Amino acid sequence: MNKYFKKLAIPYFVWLYVLAIIPFVIMAILSFVNNEGLNFSKAIFTLDNFGYLTTSSTVIAFMNSLFYAVIATLTCIVIGYMVAYAIFRSHFKNKFLVMTILILPMWSNMLLRIEALKNIMEPHNIITDILSKLGIHVSLDIAGTPLAVIIGLISTYIPFMILSIYTALEKIDYSLEEAALDLGLTETKKFWKVIFPLSTKGIVSGSIMVFLPCMSGFAIPEILGQGNILLIGNVIDQHFRNMNYNLGSLLAVVILIIILGAIFLVSKFDKEGETLL
């Protein structure tokens, strides 16, 4: 098979170099100059942009991103594992169907979902209105708090975690489980010694798919944090909006380097480099 299809990979190399590497290089250049928008004619070399990296708000925003992403990812692992495992162990005839129905919400617009989530986190909303007409008076007032942002992150990205853990569980050979039971392991021991280690790949890829968008996104903290919670994605977005492409690029490049470092670590961990998904 090797000799025939090798050429098939070449266009993809070209494609990725043009569309993924060149923009990165341009951004790296942008972070060392001072110019207007994307007009390089009046560009002056400067290191001033780096000064903003250490301003307190940028540092706090970065720490916030890290903090929220870690919390959200850990929670997603726990909840996602339980859900995926429950489906995996369930007696449904068509588990794939159950799985897809479970992640169906992923297919409606994310912005709308977050808006809706924000609405119900406020004291007055459509659900409390209906309930109060029925004589039940309950309300929630968490919009604008860190809790709201974390709930939003989990609600949005948990389908990715469930999906990848479930895929990993599905691949486990049933004969391994039988062997474990034959060798006298209890159900709990079997889980920790056989199933869990074999599904770590799913956890790793799920974690990456949850962690990175949590880290770089800006819509969820903006809407659910009611503008009071600042993540690094918001700061990048603000600078691009103000047309400060230099500072925006610098922050983006820094984030990208961190992410690439993470990928590098992951590819060390998994020699084939196919961990994701």
Q: 210-229: which residues touch other proteins (CB under 8 A)?
A: 212, 216-219, 223, 226-229
CB 207 within 8 A of CB 197: no
Q: Residue 41 in 3-state DSSP? A: strand
- 125-154 binders of other proteins (CB under 8 A): 125-127, 129-130, 133, 143-144, 151, 154
> Could you tell me which stretch among 66-74, 175-183, 190-198, 248-256 binds other proteins (CB under 8 A)?
248-256
User: 161 phi and psi, to 5 degrees?
Assistant: -65, -45
Burial class, 191, CB count within 10 angstroms (exposed 0-12 / middle 13-18 / buried 19+):
middle
Minimum CB separation from other proteins for residue 128, in Å? 8
* Length in residues, the chain: 277
Instruction: Provide the angle, in degrees to the nearest 10, between the axes of the packed helices 245-269 and 232-241.
Output: 140
Which residues from 170-209 bind other proteins, rule CB under 8 A?
Answer: 186, 188, 208
Q: Say whether 267 sits in a helix, a strand or coil.
A: helix
CB closer to other proteins out of 194 and 233? 233
Q: Considering CB under 8 A, how many residues would be counted as binding other proteins?
A: 127
Binding of other proteins at residue 272 (CB under 8 A)? yes
Applying the rule CB under 8 A, the residues between 59 and 78 that interact with other proteins are 60-61, 64, 78
- Contact with other proteins (CB under 8 A): which of 150, 165, 204, 235? 235
How many Å is the Cα radius of gyration of the chain? Answer: 23
Choose the binding region for other proteins from 15-23, 66-74, 173-181, 190-198 (rule: CB under 8 A): 15-23
106 exposure class (CB count in 10 Å sphere: 0-12, 13-18, 19+): middle
Q: For the packed helices 196-216 and 146-171, what is the interaxial angle rounded to 10 degrees?
A: 140
Judged by CB under 8 A, the stretch of 66-74, 158-166, 174-182, 192-200 that binds other proteins is 158-166
Give the whole-angstrom CA distance, residue 145 versus residue 133: 28
Q: Minimum CB separation from other proteins for residue 179, in Å?
A: 20
- Residue selected from 109, 173, 175, 182 as contacting other proteins according to rule CB under 8 A: 109
The smaller minimum CB distance to other proteins, of residues 83 and 195, is found at 83
At closest approach, how far in Å is the CB of 138 from other proteins? 14
What character string, x for contact with other proteins (CB under 8 A) and - otherwise, covers 78-107?
xxx-xx--x-------x-xx--xxxxxxxx
Q: Exactly one of 27, 69, 150, 214 binds other proteins (CB under 8 A); which one?
A: 27
**Looking at 88, 113, 142, 196, which residue binds other proteins (CB under 8 A)?**
113
Window 43-62: residues binding other proteins (CB under 8 A)? 52, 55-58, 60-61
d(CA 179, CA 174): 9
- Residue 158 neighbours by CB under 8 Å, 6+ apart: 76, 79, 80, 83, 210
Whether residue 108 contacts residue 184, with contact meaning beta carbons closer than 8 Å, is answered with no
Whichever of 101 and 136 has its CB closer to other proteins, that residue is 101
